[in-house]
Amino acid sequence: MNADNVLQLFRGYPTWEVFIELAIIWACVYLVFRFLQGTRGAGVIKGFAVVIIVLVLVFRLLGESSDAFGRIKYISNQVLGLLAILLIVVFQPELRQAMIRVGATRFLGRRNPRVARLADSVTEAVEFLSKNSFGALIVVERSGRLGGLTENGVQMDALVTPRLLETIFWPNSPLHDLAVVIRGDRVVAASVQLPLAETGAVPAQLGSRHRAAAGVTTESDCLVIIVSEETGNCRLAEYGIISAPIEKSEFRERLMERLQVEPDPADPTTSTEVES
């Protein structure tokens, strides 16, 4: 295969059509790598890409010979098919996250006063918990319910308020360990055990709360707020990805954004102090 062979592929096609096709291919590759950025699949996909490129080149080069190297060409063709199956198996968690994202996409924005009040209550509680370095794990359901996960905790049905969250996560309180689950604007369960993400899925310096946040957001469409007991840092987790520590001035806006509600910067009653 040489430059003439490559150019031959594009002869006979309008220039604009070639550019559009190349742009679509580039966009697809870019979106895949952007989606995998920060996940374990980012490194794996590079290895798969190298193997596939080598096999394609071998297959094309040998294809120029009539019946020579028939066994090698056959094996290369079969390996390419096997790699397609392996991609589905290896990237099963990433594919599940992609389906969750598609299902959670809202094509029409909307303002929801109830969700805005929820964000205000959570922000005020996180301010207190972070300032005092009280660890917390708050799960907010979005398009789907956690189902059986909430059944292993203490069942509740209480309106979300800053005082309620502060009381639950007060050190040595009966419910301060594990997670709180919020559905709508109500706490439906406390002391909930969440599934942990695989070892290596989160940075080693982060603790079990962060592994639990990554684990549950990999399997369900939910948003998790983590307050570190050691540092007081506050982070958000979704789709298995943990954010960097969030500055106090940005927390409410980031929370509103992830809850799919446009923030109202003119609201003077909202507290945004979060120690990080």
Burial of 234 (C-beta count, 10 Å sphere; 0-12/13-18/19+): buried
Residue 100 has pLDDT above 60, yes or no: no
**Residue 28 one-letter amino acid:** C
What pLDDT is stored for residue 156 in this prediction? 94
What pLDDT is stored for residue 72 in this prediction? 67
Q: Show the tokens assigned to 172.
A: 């040595």
List C-alpha distances in Å: 72 to 85, 96, 169, 243: 20, 35, 63, 47
Spans of all domains in the chain: 3-104, 113-258
Determine if the pTM surpasses 0.75: no
Q: Are 247 and 126 in contact (CB under 8 A)?
A: no
Which has the minimum average pLDDT: 17-21, 114-118, 132-136, 198-202?
17-21
For the sheet containing 154-159, what is the strand order?
Answer: 154-159, 186-192, 179-183, 136-141, 222-227, 234-238, 241-242
pLDDT in tens, 156-204: 999 999 999 999 999 989 998 899 999 989 999 999 999 888 877 788 7
- Nearest residue to 260 (alpha-carbon basis) of 82, 76, 112: 112
Select the more confidently predicted residue: 234 or 97. Answer: 234
pLDDT in tens, 9-57: 555 566 677 678 778 877 877 776 666 655 555 566 666 677 767 766 6
CATH topology of domain 113-258: YojJ-like (1 (3.40.1700)
- Tracing tokens 């660890």 back to the chain, one arrives at 135
Residue 64 has pLDDT above 70, yes or no: no
- Tracing tokens 């040998």 back to the chain, one arrives at 62
The alpha helices in the chain, defined as continuous H runs, are 3-10, 15-36, 41-63, 70-90, 92-104, 113-131, 162-168, 208-219, 251-258
